[in-house]
Amino acid sequence: MLYRETGQFKTSYAADMAIFPIRQDRIALGALLIFAFVGVPALDAFQVWPFGGEYLIRAILIPFLILSLAAVGLNTLTGYCGQLSLGSGAFMAIGAYSAYKFGTGVRIPLEIFTIDIPPLPVFWCILLGGLMAAFVGILFGVPSLRIKGLYLAVATLAAQFFFDWLFIRVKWFTNYTSSGSVVAPDLTFFGLYVNKPIERYMLCLIFVTVFALMAKNLVRGNIGRQWMAIRDMDIAAELMGIRPLYAKLTAFAISSFMIGVAGALWAFIYLGAWEPLAFNIDRSFQILFMVIIGGLGSILGSFLGAAFILVLPILLDQVPHALGIAVSVETVSLLVFMVTGALICWLLIVEPHGFARLWSTGKEKLRFWPYPY
Amino acid sequence: MRAPSASDIAAGEILLSIENVSLSFGGVRAIRDVSFDIKKGEVRAIIGPNGAGKTSMLNVINGFYQPQHGRITFKGETRTKMRPYDAARGGIARTFQNVALFKGMSALDNIMAGRTLKMKRGFLWQILRVGPALTEEIEHRRRVEEIIDFLEIQAIRKVPVARLPYGLQKRVELGRALAMEPELLLLDEPMAGMNLEEKEDMSRFIIDVNDHFGTTIALIEHDMGVVMDLSDRVVVLDHGVKIADGTPDAVKANQDVIDAYLGVAH
Ligand SMILES: Nc1ncnc2c1ncn2[C@@H]1O[C@H](COP(=O)(O)OP(=O)(O)OP(=O)(O)O)[C@@H](O)[C@H]1O
Ligand SMILES: [Mg+2]
């Protein structure tokens, strides 16, 4: 079937405002979701190639989903609201350690009385992890009202280093384990014990689908327009009654919430046991690169970017291998750096809106193909 | 709504008055002790040579610049300075001399953004985008489509504004201001850089807005023909000083104005 709008007349504004107004897009998305929710478990159950063993799900799909969520989170802030952040790693860490503390019981002895919260169910821990990150995100968002661009990026970088330091030095966060590494509580969700990789995958899929949908709703609604207005021309936005304080802080809150949840999922579901290094500055850059490569200001782009950044090292490792060329591990990681770096430079020069824009330009051409207009 | 006639305006209610306003940037005195008023329903032109302080005056009116001296009375409320948010709330909208659209957004989204203050649903509703939030979005979309029809820009509603030619960008910017359903519309050189045909279209839109919606308009314009045709009253600034104020004909005959435009030394 051709990719056409012809014959798809919209008879109401509601139809024109649907999440994917073009029928072919809706079919494609539906197919993708069915594959993710039904196809993958089925293929896994029958151990069809490439689902043999657990490698694909455990080492590729789960991290892909979680980091996509983090990228969606960063994209709402940086892509839609125009506030550059280098602190994603820190916000993931806040989500992870908050979830850990709520999962193992929070005990704060004060002068007069002791705050004592018993261990909470994992599901709530993950959401609380997101909420704590949102709270800190709002605090760090306040300076964004005064400082912009690169200066703000430096402030978020400071946040990154501060939280790296905090989670290493303040032993309370790691429940005084001698090594500083901690183990996630058992994953029981509403009475269901989630353990097998496919179960973990489904859990992540549900989280990511729900949050990506929410993000999509926000960016195409009134708040999303306020974010973009602030990003594109803050003075004109202010003169129209858009309050920079409200727009920026909601962007920081939503973004940090999603990144915090991603951090909690990363720790509990992907890693299982972790140390502060898991959320250092490298993680921040990794997520930023996903957003830049995938496309600033695109939810779909966040997923494309995450897929690319995760699959690239595997490809660079496997392809020479398959061709019978011996490549050392160091060379592969060096190649990854070079390819990512070169690609980012190329994109920043040629197509600042990343893969998502290349994709939509392609679609636009296709709509009129074979006519040039 | 019926457009007020000239005599209505002469007797009319004052919507905005500027009293003894002075504004300077360091040593540059952009506005010096200027007073004038704008009456409900009129088209008030602000003219003057380059650097006269016209744009600065609009910036004072909607709170982007804060004057050092003077008072501003809008809808009966007097203050020493406006705040941008209060101005927008109170019903002041504007367009800019150098188009200030939201470049990354479509024409439709730009105009929808003008509805921000009218949209009430909080973000928990918007996250779900069901029920009241969806109804609200559709209702405002309908209003915005009326503006799109009025400005005859149906064909470009989904196009990112950065890709539009200059004349259309100016039109979208007018649409964005109209979406606020302003009581006072400030237009900073809406026809600069346009060809004759585009100027005629834009003049027609301005007249229609003033006639049909009864919107009061403050208009900065260099094209004297346009000013004479559109405006009810004209205020003339030169080097930050008000040198004339009156009907287009009176102002055209004023010797100070002629001197200012011909560059006679003071
Ligand atoms: N933000 C600012 N900082 C410093 N000086 C300014 C600023 N804005 C305006 N000025 C100065 O104030 C004076 C009046 O400028 P303004 O832009 O109001 O003139 P104008 O009448 O709109 O001129 P034009 O017809 O060229 O648009 C100029 O001398 C200008 O340099
Ligand atoms: Mg000007």
ipTM confidence: 0.91
Residues in chain A within 8 Å Cβ distance of B89: 241
* Domain match, B166 and B207 both: no
Q: Quick one: CATH architecture of A49-368?
A: Orthogonal Bundle (1.10)
Q: Which amino acid is at A353?
A: H
Distance of CA B41 to the CA centre of its chain: 13
Quick one: which H or E segment has residue A171? none
Domain limit, last residue, from B135, B158, B181: B181
Decide whether any atom of ligand 1 lies within 6 Å of the B56 Cβ: yes
pLDDT tens, position by position, A139-172: 988 988 888 888 889 989 999 999 999 999 998 9
- Most confident segment among A56-60, A151-155, B172-176: B172-176
Instruction: Mark yes or no for CB contact A222/B62 under 8 Å.
Output: no
B176 and B187, same domain (yes or no) = no
Q: Are B123 and A218 an interchain contact pair (Cβ–Cβ within 8 Å)?
A: yes
Q: What is the pLDDT of residue B1?
A: 43
Structure tokens at A277: 């290094």
Total domains in chain B come to 2
Cβ-contact A347, A291 below 8 angstroms: no
Torsion, Cα A168 A172 A173 A175, to 10 degrees, reads 110
Cα–Cα distance, A259 to A136 (Å, whole number): 12
Phi-psi map region of A147: left, alpha, beta (phi>0 left; psi -120 to 50 alpha): beta
Q: Which atom of ligand 1 lies at the shortest distance from residue B240's CA?
A: 14
Let me know: does B116 contact A230? Beta carbons within 8 Å: no
- Which CATH number is B59's domain given? 3.40.50.300
Residue at a domain's end among B181, B199, B220: B181
pLDDT in tens, A326-338: 778 888 888 888 8
pTM, full prediction: 0.91
List where CATH 1.10.3470 sits in chain A: 49-368
Distance CA A57, CA B113 (A): 42
Identify the sign of the CA torsion A315, A320, A322, A326: negative
Q: Which of B134, B164, B181 is at the close of a domain?
A: B181
Rounded CA gap, A225 and A247, in Å?
9
Q: Does B178 touch chain A (CB under 8 A)?
A: no
Give the model confidence (pLDDT) of A286-316 as tens digits: 999 999 999 999 999 999 999 999 988 888 8
What's the CA-to-centroid distance between B206 and ligand 2, angstroms? 19
pLDDT at residue B42 is higher than 90: yes
The answer to whether residues A179 and A275 touch, using CB atoms and an 8 Å cutoff, is: yes
B144 & B208 share domain: no
**Of A155 and A68, more confident:** A68
Q: Whose CA is nearest to atom 28 of ligand 1?
A: B51
Q: Is the CB of B209 under 6 A from ligand 1?
A: no
Residues B75, B149 within the same domain: no
Question: Cα separation of A221 and A226, whole Å?
Answer: 9
Q: Is the Cβ of B83 closer than 8 Å to some Cβ of chain A?
A: no
Domain shared by B127 and B80, yes or no: no
Residue A341 contacts B where some CB pair is shorter than 8 Å? no
Q: B17 is in which domain, residue-wise?
A: 1-91+182-266
Question: Using the beta-carbon criterion (under 8 Å), do A13 and B141 form an inter-chain contact?
Answer: yes
